[in-house]
Structure 1
Amino acid sequence: MKNVSGHAINKIKAHFESMVDMPKNDWLFFISKLEERFYSKKSIILRKGEIENMFCYLEKGSIRYFIPRSEDIEVTFGFRHEDEFSSAYDSFVSRKPSHYSLEAMEDSVLWCIEYDDLQEIYARTSVGNIIGRVFAEYNLVEKWNRELSFINQTAEERYLDIFANRPELIKKVPLKYLASYIGVTPQALSRIRKRIS
């Protein structure tokens, strides 16, 4: 078994136990496949065009999802923070090159499982497929919620929604990334913040 920290084990186990009762042997087999990875601030975890091979639990740090358009232009469309799972999930599942990149916004610690190991978990454990289905459903709901926010909300409403439901983004994410995430320029976001302050 790899040396998984007690804190990380407890957090990951709590996520799984909120979905399904996990037999001890299944759990031990799962954690035997985990690999700890460290990323320094600003390092690229996955580049656009690469195939995602890892599904990870973010023990410490934060991750930005973005589409590089040119040397100077990037479109940020997602974030992950401590105690969340992270992956270019569409690439992970389809085994096709990712359309976007993942970057560590600060020094980050991830516990990752490789694609082939996860398939083995699905095949050899009694609850692996249930966990896989739940994560797939979570990613789908998150995707739809984000798309609907751009149809049903103004940029100011999207910012207020973040302020109410994901305050960690306001505290940790640089203004230019947050502006891109809600679909406005940094200057427009500054005006929004002044209006509601």
Structure 2
Amino acid sequence: MEKMIQYILQFGSLNTQQIDLVISKGQIFNLKKDDYFSEAGKIPRQVGFITQGVIRGCYYNNKGEEITRCFISENSLVCDYVNFEAQASSSEYLQAVTDCSLIIFSKKDWEELSRIIVEWDTIKNKMVQLCMHQKSRKGPVISQDATTRYLEFMENYPSLINRVPLSYIATYLGVTQQSLSRIRKNIR
């Protein structure tokens, strides 16, 4: 919980009583590798803070191919926030790439924090903006060659190289797994 509180306090200040309230609303939740935090076709029911592990945002394109859009790792908020707020069905999946530990907030508890803590909406909005920015970060520029895309991935996500299956990295980069294996072999 301490890492989550440190994260929250980057966006505003809370007194001890308010911090205790936030802690009381969060529940520790474990997600096994390959399980979903939220699924396409379902209404997202919670906001999470990742304390350990990696989650990916993915969807299926019109050819039925799975595309990884983003990776979200420790000390980050995770949520399909637009659909969470609107109580609308999601169009993407948030899936655990590794076993994950999270602190989750139900919609009811998340909204209750807004009603009780005056500053919460300002803090929440800043956290959500960062979350949405991380999720919407543009994938690699497809006009770049595949090696350049992979090198940029390594630069942007150095901690994920050995934690994320190559198949997910390949769909993120827009290449086949075989192409990615060749690229990795050539740059060693």
- The TM-score range, normalised by the shorter chain, is 0.7 to 0.9
Which residue in 2 is equivalent to 1:37?
Answer: 29
User: Is this contact kept in 2: 1:26–1:126, CA < 8 A?
Assistant: no
* Residue 134 (structure 1) shift: 0.7
Q: Which residue of 19, 22, 46 corresponds with 2:38?
A: 46
Q: What 5-or-longer segments of structure 1 have no aligned partner?
A: 1-8
- Normalised to the residue count of structure 1, the TM-score between the two structures is 0.83
Q: Percent identity?
A: 28
Q: Which residue of 37, 43, 52 corresponds with 1:60?
A: 52
Aligned residues: 187
* Residue 142 (structure 1) shift: 3.0
- Normalised to the residue count of structure 2, the TM-score between the two structures is 0.87
Cα distance between partner residues in 2 of 1:42 and 1:143? 19
Which residue in 2 is equivalent to 1:108?
Answer: 100
Give deviations 1:67-105, integer Å, cap 9, x for gaps: 1459x8421112222222211222212221010112222
Answer 1 or 2: higher relative contact order, Cα 8 Å, separation at least 6: 2
1:167 to 2:158 alignment? yes
Cα distance between partner residues in 2 of 1:162 and 1:90? 27
Q: Secondary structure at the match of 1:170?
A: coil
User: Is this contact kept in 1: 2:98–2:163, CA < 8 A?
Assistant: no
The code of the aligned residue for 1:44 comes to: Y
Normalized per residue, the structure richer in helix is 1
Cα distance between partner residues in 2 of 1:89 and 1:155? 31
* Residue 112 (structure 1) shift: 0.2
Most deviating of 47-56 and 33-42? 33-42
The code of the aligned residue for 2:80 comes to: A
User: Is this contact kept in 1: 2:11–2:127, CA < 8 A?
Assistant: no
Q: Which residue of 184, 187, 190 corresponds with 2:181?
A: 190
Which residue in 2 is equivalent to 1:81?
Answer: 73
Most deviating of 150-159 and 97-106? 150-159
Q: What 5-or-longer segments of structure 2 have no aligned partner?
A: none
User: Is this contact kept in 1: 2:31–2:101, CA < 8 A?
Assistant: yes
Call closer, same or farther: CA 1:35–1:46 in 2, change over 3 Å.
Answer: same
Which residue in 2 is equivalent to 1:4?
Answer: none
Call closer, same or farther: CA 1:155–1:88 in 2, change over 3 Å.
Answer: farther
